[in-house]
Structures are given as structure tokens and as C-alpha cells.
Chains A and B, each alone.
Chain A
Amino acid sequence: MTNTTIIPAAERKLKNRIGVGTTIRNSCTLAYRALLKMFKSPEILVDFVVLPIMFTLLFTFLFGGAISGNIPNCLPIVIPGVLLMSSFTNCTTAGSKLREDVDKGTTSRFKSMPIARIAPLAGSLTADLVRYLIGGITVFTTGYILGYHPEAGIPAVIFSILFIMFVAWCLSWVFAFISLSTKTISTASAIGVVVMFPLVFLSNAFVPTSTMPGWMQYFVLHINPLSSVVIVVRQMLTYGTIGADFRLALFGAFALLCVFIPLTINAYKRKA
């Protein structure tokens, strides 16, 4: 610095605490960073557009007939399922960017700075909301083109997308925890797939539960939390109402946050 004189340490105003305002500001800055990176990366088109469209077409045309006899009838069942599947598949990669930062050393620099510890995590995961949003819009648009016009109208669609975004955000803390705890990124994504597939497919997302054997029905309806999420979305889109499952899903999501935010922060601290 040829022209600037450094202010000596003794003459600076310094605080040893990081307030809530700073925490939110830091998180927003890092969310902005994640978004900038997201829109510059090549895989974005696949995540946002190709995957949701592919899932919608695949499930409608391949399984549609088998599920409900004909294509138009299957859409109210398939679309909520695809909405859930595409956003939750995106969810499994939530921690990969964080892990990249840790492996490259960016995290070390963050750690040497007077910023909130949770900001890099919160920023990165919150930026992912945009992925879920665009994915959701793509699914509904594709569905609309195929002839899906939900009875409850646009407000129900907006509600469904927001609801899925929230649930996916809560769930992404779990996957962030996994990718920060494993030895390599590829282990984490393998675990992500292994966890996600049974949860999505062993649910009521695509097929009526009545055709399943008893034990599987029990798992699908009483154990798999994603079934509640699907029921909420389907009910909303078809009848425009909210049932008991909504409360159950919210409660589950909050429970996940309470458990996994501290766990993830802890894993992050250990890795950095």
C-alpha cells in the first residue's frame, strides 16, 4: 500500500462479538457468492431444466399408463411426485460446494476472518433455494404443457413450490452434514443416492400404496416422512386444503433442523 497508511491496532474500534445483524449480512454475502458461482457453472442447465423435464416426461409416458390407465389421469399423481423427486435429488448435492471450499482452503481463509461461523453454511444452503425454485417451476410448466391443470389453481402451485423449497432446504442440512463428515466427496454423493432413492421410491410419490405388500405399506405410510410431504402437495393441488399431514411435515422438518444444524456446524468446524 503505497498511498494508504494503516490504522494502528490501538486506534481501531474493535468488538469481540458477532451480532445477529452481522451473521445475517455475512450469510447473504456468501449466498450471493454461491449464486454467482451457480450461474457460472455448466452443470446448472442440467440441474435446473434437463433433469426436471426428463423426470416429468419419463414418469408420465413410461409409467403413466401403468399407474392410472392413461396419461391425463396420471398427471395429478406423477407431477407432485416428480416435484418432490427433482428437488430432493438436487438436495443430495447440497454439501458438495461446501466440501469443495473446505478441500480447496477457502474455508481456512473464512475462518481467519471476523465473520459468523455459520455464514458459509447458511449462505451456501440458502442459495440452493433458487435451484429448488427453478426446478419446481420447470416441473409445473412441463406438466402444464402435457395437460396438467391443477384444480386448485395458481395459488396452490405457488404454495406447493414454496413448501417443497422449505422441506428441501431443511433436508439439505442432512446432506451437508454427510458431505462434511465423509472422507471424500464421492463417498458423500454415493451415500446421498443410497439414502434418497429408497425414500423417494418407497413412498406414495408415484404409485398407489394399495398395490404394495402389507409391510411395505406400513413403511410407506407410517415411517417414510416423505409420504406426508407428497400428501400435503397432492391435497393442496387437488382440493386446495391443508390437512394434518402439513403439521406433521413441518414438525418433521423443524426436528431435522434442530438436530442437523448443530451437527453440520460441528462437522464443518472439524473439517476446516
Chain B
Amino acid sequence: MEVNTIMKNNAILAVEAYGLVKTFGNNKAVDGVSLSIPAGSICGILGPNGAGKTTTINMLATLSKPDAGNIKIFGYDVLHETQIVRQLIGLTGQFASIDEDLTALENLMIFGRLYGYSRKDSKRKANELLEEFGLSDVASRALSKFSGGMRRRLDLAVSLIHQPPLIFLDEPTTGLDPRTRTQMWQSIRNLVKGGSTVLLTTQYLDEADQLADNIVVIDKGRVVANDTPDGLKRSVGSSSLHLTVKDTDNTANAAQIIERILDAKVHLAEASELIVPIENTDKLTDVLTKLKDAGIKLSGVNILQPTLDEVFFALTGEGSKDKKDNKEENLND
């Protein structure tokens, strides 16, 4: 029976979007995005701030109408069968959609009632969800006393009350501490075990890597890659080698040597810093020996996991955004 359901799920697409365009004034926020997500999988939309992630999710979740393109959710057209689509989706946005003044239980029950459950059923479902998200102890406490992580969990719980087969999560872990983040990941994995399809957006490659079956990378409103996490990482190099040369005159020379050994393109971060994808860390010894033989002195060696910036460099040939810019935005979060 369960196998049956899974097979059926695989046969249908939870999301089928083609050629989505959304323009705000002169700014093409989304410019021809196409997506298809098989039921029962997790799809991660990865991109920097302002790439068009939220705009895309808003169109898929019936919040705004695309200027061009079409969307089907489980085969239902978003524009013409909007109310059906709304019964099939749950949305947890970046906004805090829960009420500060009310308790966790009251918040959940109100949404249960809105989805058409009786008082009794709403209460039962609310309590189940509170239990599952570890919020039972604080069920009757006002939300203003909740931590950021608790609010985020409750926000997710709210969008699950009607057990939607498709769940949209817009940056579910932005601003959470590492421990809460891991808890959130576990909750998201559990959703898929129950048979839901999840579409999440994130700015973090490791998050998409941890959770998603398929990653769609978008930049400036366009899809620049659509691949499995492994495939994506292969194109970037699973990790990267960062070398800082002491004397900037040697930079070009060092780059040549490294490119010959690793057979990969070197990216110059600064005049003295070289970044290159490295598949096999054994080759690091070769690199260091050859550089020493050439008389090039180093002031720093680092092996780092790929960052979103590097993914973008590998995919588009340019950084995702000015680094300084990114830092400022993070501060604002």
C-alpha cells in the first residue's frame, strides 16, 4: 500500500512552472524561471539576496500573479484553480505571520479553524503539532516571550496544520543559531518522510546540500543551474584551496603551477590570494612542493568548503555580489 502511494507520487509533479516572469517597475525580479519538482522530494532554490527567490515562491504560492508563464501545482492551474491550489499548499514566509499577543495554542487553533476544522479537531491538531515541534511546555505562553527559533518552529507548524502535500519554506533558517538550524532541518526531513513535497529557498549552499534532492541556483531572476547537490558540487569542486602568496609578483607564476597540477581554473580573489577548486586533497602536497621548488613563498594555506560565492563564480564567472554588500545585508538580518 505504501509502495503504491510512493509510486503514484513519483508519477506526478508537485510543481510545474514554465517561463515565469515578474517585473517590478524597471526591475525584472524573475526572468524566465522554469521549475519542475516531483512529488515527495525536496527542492532547494539557492541564490543570493535579491536573486528572485521570494518573488518566485510568491508566484508559486498564489500570492502574486506572474506577468508571463504558467504554473501548475499537482496539475492544477494556479491562475484558474487558485482556491484548489491553496488547499494543497502551506507557506512559511520570511515574515512573522503569527500573532505576538496570542499564545502558541491560540495561534495554531485559529489557523486550524480557518482551514475548516472544528474546534475540537483544531485543538487536537494544534496539540499534536506543538508536541512534535517541542513546544508543548510553552503552549499557553504569549509569543512575545518566545525566542527566534521557537517562533520560526511555530510558524512552520502553522503551515502544516492542514497537512498540505506541498510546503513552501522561504529561507527557513536565516538568522537561526546552528543548533536551532539543525533542529529545523530535522523537522523538514520529517515532512518528506510523511509524503510531503518541500520547496525551500536558501542562501546557504550547505543547507541546500543537506536537505535538497535537487538544487536550482538562481541569480538575477534566471536559473543558472539545476542539478543534484553532488552534480552541483562537482562543477564547483567539493572544496577549495585558498593560497596567499607573500610576494604579489609571484601570483601569476603560482597560478600557472597550480592550474597545471590540479587541472582547474584559478580564481584571483585579491592580488595575493588564489582560490582553486580541489577534488583530491592528496594533490595538496604536490602543489606545495612545486611552489617551494619554484621559490614562491606562501603566507597562508586554507582548504575551505565551497561557499555560495564560489558556486556563483563557477556557474556564472562572476561573484554573486559585492562581498561588502553581502556583509551589510547580513548585519541587517
Selected contact of A108 from candidates B81, B93, B116, B193, CB within 8 Å: B93
CB distance from A269 to the nearest CB of B (A): 11
- Is B29 in contact with chain A by the CB < 8 A criterion? no
- B63–A36 touching, CB < 8 Å: no
Q: Can you list 14 A-B pairs, Cβ within 8 angstroms, ordered by A?
A: A2-B194, A5-B5, A5-B194, A8-B39, A9-B12, A9-B39, A9-B166, A37-B99, A105-B93, A105-B97, A108-B91, A109-B97, A112-B62, A272-B63
- Is B84 in contact with chain A by the CB < 8 A criterion? yes
CB distance from A132 to the nearest CB of B (A): 21
CB distance from B183 to the nearest CB of A (A): 14
- Please count how many residues in chain A sit with their CB below 8 Å of the partner chain's CB atoms: 39
Alpha-carbon separation in the docked complex, A25 to B115 (Å): 10
With contact pairs A4-B194, A5-B195, A112-B61 given, residues A16 and B84 touching in the complex (Cβ less than 8 Å)? yes
* Residue with the greatest number of chain A CB neighbours at <10 A, chosen from B2, B9, B165: B165
Among the 9-residue stretches B106-114, B145-153, B243-251, the one with 4 or more Cβ atoms under 8 Å from chain A is B106-114
- B96–A112 touching, CB < 8 Å: no
CB distance from B231 to the nearest CB of A (A): 28
With contact pairs A37-B101, A112-B91 given, residues A6 and B83 touching in the complex (Cβ less than 8 Å)? no
Selected contact of A10 from candidates B12, B62, B191, CB within 8 Å: B12
CB distance from B122 to the nearest CB of A (A): 10
Q: Mark B70-103, 1 if CB is under 8 A from A, else 0.
A: 0001111000011110111101011111110110
Alpha-carbon separation in the docked complex, A6 to B2 (Å): 11
Chain A residues 93-126 with CB under 8 Å of chain B are 104-106, 108-115, 119
Chain B residues 108-149 with CB under 8 Å of chain A are 110-111, 113-116, 132, 142
Alpha-carbon separation in the docked complex, A29 to B122 (Å): 12
- A8–B87 touching, CB < 8 Å: no
Selected contact of A8 from candidates B89, B160, B165, CB within 8 Å: B165
Binding site for B on A (CB under 8 A): 1-2, 4-10, 12, 14-18, 22, 25-26, 29-30, 32-33, 36-37, 40-41, 104-106, 108-115, 119, 272
Alpha-carbon separation in the docked complex, A198 to B176 (Å): 51
Binding site for A on B (CB under 8 A): 2, 5, 8-9, 12, 14, 39, 58, 61-63, 73-76, 81-84, 86-89, 91, 93-99, 101-102, 106, 110-111, 113-116, 132, 142, 158-160, 163-166, 190-191, 193-196
- B83–A17 touching, CB < 8 Å: yes
- B115–A1 touching, CB < 8 Å: no
- A112–B89 touching, CB < 8 Å: yes
With contact pairs A16-B83, A17-B83, A109-B95 given, residues A8 and B8 touching in the complex (Cβ less than 8 Å)? yes
- A10–B114 touching, CB < 8 Å: no
- A14–B84 touching, CB < 8 Å: yes
With contact pairs A1-B160, A7-B163, A108-B95 given, residues A114 and B110 touching in the complex (Cβ less than 8 Å)? no
CB distance from B50 to the nearest CB of A (A): 18
- B93–A1 touching, CB < 8 Å: no
- A111–B163 touching, CB < 8 Å: no
- B63–A12 touching, CB < 8 Å: no
CB distance from B156 to the nearest CB of A (A): 11
- B95–A4 touching, CB < 8 Å: no
Chain A residues near B160 (CB-CB < 8 A): 1
With contact pairs A2-B193, A8-B9 given, residues A106 and B99 touching in the complex (Cβ less than 8 Å)? yes
- B81–A106 touching, CB < 8 Å: no
With contact pairs A1-B196, A29-B114, A37-B99 given, residues A9 and B86 touching in the complex (Cβ less than 8 Å)? no
CB distance from A137 to the nearest CB of B (A): 24
CB distance from B31 to the nearest CB of A (A): 23
- A115–B95 touching, CB < 8 Å: no
- A108–B97 touching, CB < 8 Å: yes
Alpha-carbon separation in the docked complex, A26 to B160 (Å): 18
Chain A residues near B101 (CB-CB < 8 A): 36-37, 40-41
Alpha-carbon separation in the docked complex, A111 to B82 (Å): 11
* Residue with the greatest number of chain B CB neighbours at <10 A, chosen from A2, A26, A113, A115: A113
Chain B residues near A17 (CB-CB < 8 A): 83
Sorted nearest first, the 7 A-B pairs with minimum C-beta distance are: A105-B95, A1-B194, A9-B74, A109-B97, A6-B195, A114-B86, A112-B91
